[in-house]
């Protein structure tokens, strides 16, 4: 079982890497959300493979289901806000919406 | 078993890289959908059918619908602008596949270290999905009700005046 | 009993759409009733535990296996702070010009944020904590973007993206810990992580990173001033007063106590990050021209104090951290209340356009003096005692250099807050502001309540220390492994 877990965890790290890279480098708001979505897939895989490894598959599936529900609500709200930004600014470019200075 | 897993993970990872790499958003969304289907297969292979079905219907289906809806609601760019945009996009993203390939290779070659890092617990659990969900994770269910309410009120609050204005 | 903390606000939010149809006025009173209920019930539990039984021992009320909830000294302090801050937020919202049509939805979201915070405080497992954390965060994104202005959208989107990264890292850490311990409740995790090893270290690092992002510590503070400044005035009271403190600071304290233990690597890191936030936050605040933005940087600085107190790793440091956590909720929401009052009265937050408001707005001016003196740590106000305890704890734990940094930062704090007071309230009145009148009582009464709490918990400090804060200490006894 250890081999499978480690392979899955490598996949999780790669998914997080792809997602984070997309989130940081992209200038399009929707693509940033796609980056988050890729990371969220990695999270689902991490939870389920952890459960498959330690034998508590039922528990891990309930956790994964809850995580997916939360993720969907998050994405729905995020898309709503992105739509409002687009309606207001006429653009999805992240450079055009930054007025506030950190 | 191991090779099987590696293949399925490749089916998940390659569409995800394409999702990041594709210049057009609609292609990205479709690649994300394909990657989610790949993830579903991985979950089935791990003997987690319920999480797999959930991933397929909600994680892949619903999210793809939401994304396609949003992409189709955004205004398309003018031709020359979009060509310029594409060039910039590829310039930013061409290193990503290389990074991921190298990272994956390095991690895979060092996997023996990580195999030893996980102590084996191996306690088998007999409870079924339903028993665990209703019997032990009641608080999560309340949390799910809460977050669904947040989503409902959020969409109401965010879009109500939008309708009145236009 | 404890379940009511989650279910009452949840129910209050759920009946909002029905109330809107049948009894429009009720939509205003339900959130007030819910928050007052929370203050009273928390006070009653504290009274029962402290006055009748001598002191509040660590109590566990676990409803068999289904819902593991727990209340102890730390969560009692947090619940009281949540009740107070959300109560003044709701009071302030009553007269705040919100879109009438969407007002019930707004109240529902505030109540859901309260649900999330309460659930997070009483939960006993890491995954439930994550679910409730996400309820709070998503409700906050919507509330920040509530007014449809560009700044609100931008602040909301920034907060959203950084918070998304934080939750992903938190969940991966949960998955890793779950893989090696076979459970997600605090008890199982604490058992499992004793073995140590690289996987445990990585998951600690991920959780640490996630919570530092959530609480807006200095290298990861980018979203915080934007989110605070961009949101509508009542929302920024809720956000600055309690949401980020519960989401970042409370979770950090709770996880350190229950799961991590005082791991020396992470405690030293926390100490350094806390010190950097304290000093740089104060310096950044010094350069701000916007009322709310200055307060936002001041928040970063105060969070640094709390983290330093925690990182001292002694019972005294923990007491200081928890007391400063409570004080910060009170005085920062007081200052944000005043900024909201100034903004509604004059229509601006820019220092260049403000001045001499003290004679026109006596209540707001006076309460803001109390708030700022408490923030800067002037005796006998509550902020002085908590800072003193943190500094003494740092000194006694051997971190003398960091104790000096804490003292130094508190001088800068006094400097920028006096600057604020002079620019906004003192001096000659600016042109165009002659017609300003004091805001309505609904707006200034919450400020008076908060100022009174600050003054009394400062004067009665020995009592507060004995009765309310010592129980927190019992948590440490639990940790002595």
Domain assignment present for A56: yes
Q: What's the pLDDT band for C430 if we cut at 50, 70, 90?
A: confident
**Mean pLDDT for chain B overall:** 83
The yes-or-no verdict on residue C128 having pLDDT over 60 is yes
Domain assignment present for A64: yes
pLDDT of residue B166: 40
Domain assignment present for A102: no
Which distant-in-sequence residues (6+ apart) come within 8 Å of C378 by Cβ? C384, C414
Domain assignment present for A15: yes
The C-alpha atoms of residue B16 and residue B35 are separated, in whole angstroms, by 6
> Which chains form contacts with chain B, at 3 or more CB pairs under 8 Å?
A, C
The C-alpha atoms of residue C26 and residue C32 are separated, in whole angstroms, by 10
> Which chains form contacts with chain C, at 3 or more CB pairs under 8 Å?
A, B
Q: Is B48 on the interface with A (CB under 8 A)?
A: yes
Three-class SS of residue C127?
helix
**Mean pLDDT for chain C overall:** 85
The DSSP annotation for B5-43 comes to HHHHHHHHHHHHHHHHH-SSHHHHHHHHHHHHHHHHHHH
Residue with tokens 């928040």: C299
Cβ atoms of residues C303 and C295 within 8 Å = no
Domain B2-118 grouped into CATH 3.60.20.10: no
Range 137-156 of C in CB contact (< 8 A) with A: 138, 141-142, 145, 148, 150-151, 153-156
Cβ contact, residue pair A39, C225, below 8 Å: no
Write the pLDDT tens digit of every residue in C243-302: 989 998 999 988 988 888 777 888 888 999 999 999 999 999 988 888 889 999 999 999
Cβ contact, residue pair B16, A41, below 8 Å: yes
Cβ contact, residue pair B20, A76, below 8 Å: no
Cβ contact, residue pair C164, A74, below 8 Å: yes
Q: Is B154 on the interface with A (CB under 8 A)?
A: yes
Tally the domains of chain A.
Answer: 1
From the list C161, C172, C180, the residue facing A12 with the nearest CB is C172
> Which chains form contacts with chain A, at 3 or more CB pairs under 8 Å?
B, C
The C-alpha atoms of residue C314 and residue C476 are separated, in whole angstroms, by 9
Distances (CA, A) of C231 to A46, B121, C292: 35, 48, 10
The C-alpha atoms of residue A36 and residue C394 are separated, in whole angstroms, by 39
Cβ atoms of residues C176 and A46 within 8 Å = yes
Cβ atoms of residues C157 and A88 within 8 Å = no
Chain C neighbors of A49, CB-CB under 8 A: 175, 179
Q: Cis peptide leading into C380, omega within 30 of 0?
A: yes
Residue with the bigger pLDDT between C66 and B118: it is B118
pLDDT of residue C174: 93
Other Cβ atoms closer than 10 A to C283: 14
Cβ contact, residue pair A22, B159, below 8 Å: no
Q: Is C192 on the interface with A (CB under 8 A)?
A: no
What share of chain A has pLDDT > 70, as a percent?
93
Q: Is B144 on the interface with C (CB under 8 A)?
A: yes
Cβ contact, residue pair C157, A74, below 8 Å: no
Q: What's the pLDDT band for B164 if we cut at 50, 70, 90?
A: very low
Residue with the bigger pLDDT between C331 and C45: it is C331
pLDDT of residue B123: 63
Q: What's the pLDDT band for C110 if we cut at 50, 70, 90?
A: very high
Nearest chain C residue to B115, by CA: C199
Give the domain CATH number at A36.
1.10.287.3510
Let me know the angle formed at the C-alpha of B53 by B50 and B56, rounded to the nearest 5 degrees. Answer: 150
Cβ contact, residue pair C178, A84, below 8 Å: no
pLDDT of residue B163: 46
- The whole-angstrom distance between A4's CA and the closest CA on chain C is 12
Write the pLDDT tens digit of every residue in A7-51: 888 899 999 999 999 998 888 889 999 999 999 999 999 999 998
Cβ contact, residue pair A66, C131, below 8 Å: yes
Extended beta strands in C353-395, E state: none
Write the pLDDT tens digit of every residue in C363-415: 888 888 888 888 888 888 888 888 998 999 899 888 889 999 999 998 999 99
- The whole-angstrom distance between A61's CA and the closest CA on chain C is 12
Q: Is C255 on the interface with A (CB under 8 A)?
A: no
- The whole-angstrom distance between A20's CA and the closest CA on chain B is 10
Chain C neighbors of A53, CB-CB under 8 A: 179
Residue with the bigger pLDDT between C474 and C445: it is C445
Write the pLDDT tens digit of every residue in C38-95: 999 888 887 776 666 555 554 445 554 567 787 777 888 899 999 999 999 999 888 8
Q: Is C119 on the interface with A (CB under 8 A)?
A: no
Chain A neighbors of C160, CB-CB under 8 A: 78, 81
Burial class of B156 by CB neighbour count within 10 A (0 to 12, 13 to 18, 19+)? middle
The yes-or-no verdict on residue C347 having pLDDT over 50 is yes
Chain B neighbors of C102, CB-CB under 8 A: 156-157, 160-161
From the list B5, B12, B51, the residue facing A65 with the nearest CB is B51
pLDDT of residue A26: 86
The yes-or-no verdict on residue C177 having pLDDT over 70 is yes
Q: What's the pLDDT band for B36 if we cut at 50, 70, 90?
A: very high
Write the pLDDT tens digit of every residue in C184-222: 888 888 888 887 788 888 889 999 999 999 988 888 888
From the list A40, A53, A66, the residue facing C179 with the nearest CB is A53
Q: Is A35 on the interface with C (CB under 8 A)?
A: no
Domain assignment present for A99: no
Other Cβ atoms closer than 10 A to C151: 18
Q: What's the pLDDT band for B77 if we cut at 50, 70, 90?
A: low
Question: Residue A38: which domain range?
Answer: 2-92
Cβ atoms of residues C414 and C327 within 8 Å = no
Chain B neighbors of C197, CB-CB under 8 A: 117, 119
Cβ contact, residue pair A84, C145, below 8 Å: yes
The C-alpha atoms of residue C406 and residue B138 are separated, in whole angstroms, by 43
Distances (CA, A) of B49 to A5, C171, C172: 18, 21, 21
Q: Is C312 on the interface with B (CB under 8 A)?
A: no
Domain assignment present for A29: yes
pLDDT of residue C479: 46
Domain assignment present for A101: no
Output the pTM of the full model.
Answer: 0.92
């Amino acid at each position: 079982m250890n081999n499978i877990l480690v392979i899955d965890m490598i996949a999780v790290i790669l998914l997080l890497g792809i997602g984070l890279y997309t989130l940081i480098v992209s200038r399009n708001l929707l693509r940033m959300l796609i980056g988050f979505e890729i990371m969220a897939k990695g999270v689902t895989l991490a939870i389920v493979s952890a459960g498959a490894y330690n034998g508590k598959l039922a528990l891990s599936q309930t956790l994964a289901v809850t995580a997916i529900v939360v993720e969907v609500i998050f994405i729905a709200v995020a898309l709503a806000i992105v739509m409002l930004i687009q309606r207001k600014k006429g653009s999805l470019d992240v450079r055009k919406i930054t007025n506030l200075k950190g | 078993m191991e090779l099987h897993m590696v293949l399925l993970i490749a089916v998940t990872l390659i569409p995800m890289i394409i999702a990041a790499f594709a210049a057009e958003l609609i292609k990205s969304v479709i690649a994300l959908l394909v990657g989610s289907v790949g993830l579903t297969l991985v979950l089935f292979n791990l003997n987690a059918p319920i999480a797999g079905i959930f991933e397929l219907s909600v994680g892949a289906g619903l999210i793809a619908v939401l994304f396609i809806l949003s992409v189709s609601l955004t205004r398309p760019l003018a031709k020359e602008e979009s060509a310029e945009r594409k060039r910039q996009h590829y310039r930013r993203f061409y290193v990503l596949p290389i990074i991921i390939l190298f990272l994956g290779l390095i991690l895979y070659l060092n996997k023996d270290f990580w195999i030893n890092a996980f102590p084996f617990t191996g306690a088998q659990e007999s409870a079924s999905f339903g028993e665990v969900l209703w019997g032990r994770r009641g608080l999560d269910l309340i949390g799910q009700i809460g977050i669904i309410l947040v989503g409902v009120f959020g969409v109401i609050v965010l879009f109500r005046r939008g309708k009145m204005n236009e | 009993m404890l379940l009511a903390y989650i279910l009452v606000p949840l129910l209050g939010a759920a009946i909002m759409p029905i109330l809107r149809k049948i009894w429009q006025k009720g939509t205003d009173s339900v959130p007030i009733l819910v928050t007052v209920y929370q203050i009273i019930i928390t006070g009653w539990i504290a009274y029962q535990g402290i006055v009748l039984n001598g002191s509040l021992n660590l109590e566990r009320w676990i409803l068999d296996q289904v819902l593991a909830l727990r209340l102890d000294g730390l969560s009692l302090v947090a619940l009281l702070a949540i009740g107070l801050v959300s109560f003044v937020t709701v009071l302030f919202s009553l007269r705040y010009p919100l879109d009438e049509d969407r007002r019930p939805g707004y109240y529902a979201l505030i109540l859901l944020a309260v649900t999330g915070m309460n659930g997070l405080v009483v939960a006993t497992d890491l995954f439930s904590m994550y679910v409730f954390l996400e309820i709070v965060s998503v409700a906050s994104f919507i509330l920040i973007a509530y007014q449809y202005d560009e700044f609100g959208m931008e602040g909301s989107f920034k907060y959203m993206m950084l918070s998304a990264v934080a939750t992903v890292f938190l969940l991966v850490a949960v998955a890793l810990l779950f893989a090696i311990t076979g459970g997600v409740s605090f008890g199982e995790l604490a058992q499992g992580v004793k073995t140590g090893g690289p996987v445990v270290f990585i998951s600690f690092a991920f959780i640490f990173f996630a919570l530092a992002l959530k609480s807006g510590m200095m290298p990861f503070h980018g979203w915080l001033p934007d989110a605070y400044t961009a949101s509508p005035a009542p929302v920024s009271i809720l956000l600055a007063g309690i949401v980020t403190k519960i989401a970042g600071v409370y979770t950090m304290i709770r996880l350190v106590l229950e799961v991590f233990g005082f791991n020396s690597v992470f405690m030293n890191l926390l100490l350094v990050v806390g010190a950097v936030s304290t000093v740089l936050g104060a310096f950044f605040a010094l350069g701000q021209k916007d009322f709310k933005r200055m307060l936002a940087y001041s928040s970063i600085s105060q969070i640094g104090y709390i983290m330093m107190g925690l990182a001292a790793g002694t019972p005294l440091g923990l007491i200081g951290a928890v007391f400063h956590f409570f004080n910060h909720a009170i005085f920062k929401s007081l200052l944000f209340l005043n900024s909201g009052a100034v903004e509604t009265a004059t229509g601006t937050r820019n220092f260049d356009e403000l001045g001499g408001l003290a004679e026109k707005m006596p209540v707001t001016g006076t309460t803001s003096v109390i708030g700022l003196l408490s923030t800067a740590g002037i005796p006998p106000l509550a902020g002085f005692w908590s800072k003193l305890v943190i500094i003494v704890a740092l000194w006694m734990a051997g971190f003398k250099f960091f104790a000096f940094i804490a003292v130094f930062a508190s001088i800068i704090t006094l400097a920028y807050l006096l600057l604020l007071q002079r620019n906004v309230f003192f001096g000659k009145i600016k042109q165009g502001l002659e017609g300003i009148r004091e805001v309505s009582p609904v707006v200034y009464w919450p400020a008076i309540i908060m100022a009174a709490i600050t003054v009394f918990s400062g004067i009665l400090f020995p009592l507060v220390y004995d009765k309310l804060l010592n129980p927190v200490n019992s948590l440490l006894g639990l940790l002595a492994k």
